[in-house]
Amino acid sequence: MNAAPITTSLREIDDLPSPRGLPLLGNLHQLPPATHHLTLERWAAELGTPYVFRFGTTPVTVWNDIELSHAVMRERPHRYRRYAPIENILKEFGCNGLFSIEGAAWEPQRRLVMQALSIPHIKAFYPTLAAITERLRRRWEAAAREGRVVDMTDDLKRFTVDVTSALAFGEDPNTLENERVLIQEQLAMLLPMLMARVNAPFAYWHYVKFPRDRKFDEALIDVHRHIRELMARARARMREEAAAEACATPLGDTAHAPRNLLEAMLALRDAPGSGITDDEVAANVLTMLVAGEETTATSIAWALLFLGSDDALQARVAASARGVLGDSPVCPSYGAMRELDLCEAVCTEASRLHPVAPYLSFEPLEEVRLQGVRLPAGTKMFMLNRPAMMDPNNYADPEHYDPDRWLHDHRHESASQRGAHEPRAYLQFGAGPRVCPGRHLAAVEMRLVVSMLTANFTARLATNPADIREICTFTAVPSEMPMRLAVR
């Protein structure tokens, strides 16, 4: 675990290099919320890592070591935990689900979510995935024929909300065809508010509510009402189906097999002695909605930055997609989807250059010694992701956007042929026991959307690519992604 040898003189946190700050404020005034991740990366380049900055009087250590990142993630949840303020704020939101929950409660929830997002489950769900992708195609075809600029980030979030809801909860809100679906607008408020409150110097909202806080609180009430209604409808369906099965097989096993994540969680919660509450089920529903909406949609949106400004690349992806889709407007089968490697690669490479998760945050549960530095229990640790992905020792010509580096044939070339390629430096889905359970679903969504887009449309950015900036709203999203589409 990179523990310092006994003979080595240990450094304390205060011995680490640090950007100059102010009394009481520390470095808060130098960290604008929307771009603070870029400042942390700049300080890493200037000071080296590890270094320390301060949220007010709280020290936060910053690291840039891929092996250390993997070591820390391997030792979750027994030696490290996620940054505690995240869990505290999400508890207040009623959203302390699998993403943020710590301790003994994590493992049983993990098993449920992994089952819902397993490859066999997603394979069985594929016809619904394809139908929602077709719905997105029709939306884009209408925009193309009317000459409208498309807000791609918004449309992609609608797509991922519909997919997540249908897969995990058995209900499709159809936000793609219903412009005013409030749940979509309300979910979009959660991550920016999480970022704002995690980075606040103190919990001001416990004492005074500004208009933004009041608007968010009202939205959160509506979101939780929606989730409780989802749960009530799922329970009613489960009772009706169990009763029907009992009538059909009066002497047989009438146990109703859960068909989605929500039914599985409710079955577990309602089992005698489960110790699980409705609040915990609701927290995981909300976690799935938020996580399913934001990260995948953002990865695809960043890919559009490169596809929409490179005609040759877009033509190549279109030809590859059409070769798999044939005459179908959407990839016709799960098996065919597996041939769309290039469509996933353009997204993976985009999020290498524009990581959706610019850093990961942890705390040790006990005193640790890392790279000759003593960290008491509870020390805040930020692990930067992008510097390792921009290191020529990890990726050849790292400044260059090159989706081919992720393709199967390219990866199996000799090192002298392809140059450096270190997949372990790509940590957008995390690593270790708590690696993202939705990574396979994300890959399927990327392949479906990019193949459908390029096979059916030509897409051009409707703004100067240089004007598109990274905005950190807990994840690093593009400031805009307007595109004009034309039917092929």
CATH of the domain at 220: 1.10.630.10
Three-state SS at 60: strand
User: Cα–Cα distance between 83 and 85 in angstroms, integer?
Assistant: 6
358 domain residue, yes or no: yes
pLDDT in tens, 326-374: 999 999 999 999 999 999 999 999 999 999 999 999 999 999 999 999 9
- The DSSP 8-state label assigned to residue 329 in this structure reads S
Neighbours of 413 (CB within 10 A): 12
Per-residue confidence (pLDDT) for residue 5, from 0 to 100? 46
Looking at the 3D structure of the chain, how many domains does it have? 1
User: Cα–Cα distance between 291 and 297 in angstroms, integer?
Assistant: 10
6 domain residue, yes or no: no
Tokens found for residue 322 = 């059409």
8 domain residue, yes or no: no
List, in order, residues 6 or more apart from 114 with CB less than 8 Å away.
Answer: 437
User: Cα–Cα distance between 175 and 247 in angstroms, integer?
Assistant: 37
Neighbours of 415 (CB within 10 A): 9
132 domain residue, yes or no: yes
| Cβ-defined contacts of 65-69 (< 8 Å, 24+) | 65/371, 65/383, 65/388, 66/388, 66/394, 66/422, 66/424, 66/425, 66/427, 67/2, 68/2, 68/370, 68/371, 68/383, 69/360, 69/383, 69/385, 69/388, 69/427, 69/431
User: Cα–Cα distance between 447 and 441 in angstroms, integer?
Assistant: 10
Tokens 């936000």 found at:
175
Per-residue confidence (pLDDT) for residue 4, from 0 to 100? 47
Per-residue confidence (pLDDT) for residue 325, from 0 to 100? 97
Residue type (1 letter), 145: R
pLDDT in tens, 418-433: 689 999 999 888 887 7
7 domain residue, yes or no: no
Tokens found for residue 169 = 């909860």
Tokens found for residue 232 = 């009530």
Within the chain, which residues score under 70 in pLDDT? Answer: 1-8, 98-109, 111-112, 116, 179-182, 249-257, 292-293, 409-418
User: Cα–Cα distance between 26 and 122 in angstroms, integer?
Assistant: 47
Provide the angle, in degrees to the nearest 10, between the axes of the packed helices 278-307 and 261-270: 160
Per-residue confidence (pLDDT) for residue 90, from 0 to 100? 86
Q: Name the residue range of residue 459's domain.
A: 13-487
Which residues share a beta bridge with 395?
421
pTM of the full structure: 0.87
4 domain residue, yes or no: no
Cβ atoms of 55 and 26 within 8 Å: the answer is yes
pLDDT in tens, 253-310: 545 567 777 887 888 788 887 777 888 888 888 887 777 667 899 999 999 999 999 9
Tokens found for residue 333 = 């089968």
